[in-house]
A = this chain, B = another copy of it.
């Protein structure tokens, strides 16, 4: 999986990394049980520090997206639950995005179309 970082972004590197891996899982470019690169290898490839990658992995682990074994490294979690825990967070994020889109002139119909187009790229199955 190709990961590209924007060094001039206001989004921290570890967060960019975390976001791209989450999208990779949802789109199926990273399959369940698939092994992620080691922190050292990924840090070397991206030209960033080991601890920055580790921070992204630790975050993904805490959020339940990946499972980490001392020796086997990091793997994509086979399945995740607890949708209810993040329901409120999802609603808050979505409310802000929809508010911004509404003011920019994007109506519900256009928004739903955009959502459909994005959903069609998501292949993650439970």
Contacts and interface: CB of A to CB of B under 8 A. Distances in A.
Contacts of A124: 102-103
Given A94-B114, A115-B94, A26 B105 contact: no
Interface residues of A, number: 39
Contacts of A115: 94, 98, 108, 111-112, 115
Main secondary structure of the interface of A (DSSP, over half): helix
Contact of A104 (B80, B93, B112): B80
Interface stretch (A41-49, A50-58, A82-90): A82-90
Interface of A: 19, 22-23, 25-27, 65, 80-83, 86, 90-91, 93-106, 108, 111-112, 114-116, 118-119, 122, 124, 126
